């Protein structure tokens, strides 16, 4: 935790005390883990041949 506190800039210069912002670094960590989970999930269903899938998605104009 200490290392993470050091790399997180303090948001307010005039803060009433020097308590670190406890949520910031762990939140970023959660976000990283979360995006990995999302990508794993999407990997499982994403078209395996992306190039062919994209090439094959041809539409006529509408409206």
Partner 1 sequence: MTVRRVMGIETEYGISVPGAPGANPMVLSGDVVTTYAASRGIRPAQASWDYADEAPLRDARGFDMGRGAAHPSQLTDIEDPTMANVVLTNGARLYVDHAHPEYSSPEVTTPRDAVVWDKAGELVMREAVHRLATVPPGVNLYKNNTDGKGASYGTHENYLMSRRTPFSRIISQLTPFFVVRQVMCGSGRVGIGVDSRTPGYQLAQRSDFFETEVGLETTLKRPIINTRDEPHAVADLYRRLHVILGDANHCDVANLLKMGTTSLVLAMIEDDAFTTDLSVAAPVRTLQAVSHDPSLQSTIELVDGRSIRPVELLRTYFELATDYVDTTWGSDVDAETTEVLHWWDTVLTALEGDPMDARRWVDWVAKLSVLEGYRERDSLGWGDPRLRAVDIQWSDVRAERGLAHRLAATGRVEVLVTDEEATRAMDAAPEDTRAWFRGACLRKFPESVVAASWDSVVVEVPGERTLQRIPILEPLRGTKAAVGELVEGAPDIRSLLASLAVADRPSD
Chain residues in the site for partner 1 (CB under 8 A): 34-39, 41-42, 45-47, 50-51, 53-63
User: Which CB, 17 or 63, lies closer to partner 1?
Assistant: 63
Residue 21 neighbours by CB under 8 Å, 6+ apart: 8, 10, 11
Minimum separation from the CB atom of position 50 to partner 1 (A): 4
Shortest distance (Å) from residue 29 CB to partner 1: 15
In the complex, minimum distance from the CB of residue 63 to partner 1, in angstroms, rounded to a whole number: 4
Contact 21, 7 (CB under 8 A): no
Q: How many CB atoms lie within 10 A of CB 20?
A: 15
């Amino acid at each position: 935790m200490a290392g993470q506190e050091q790399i997180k800039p303090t948001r307010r210069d005039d803060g009433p005390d020097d308590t670190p912002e406890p949520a910031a670094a762990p939140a970023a960590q959660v976000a990283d883990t979360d995006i990995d989970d999302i990508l794993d999930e999407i990997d499982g269903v994403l078209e395996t041949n992306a190039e062919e899938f994209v090439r094959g998605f041809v539409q006529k104009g509408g409206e």
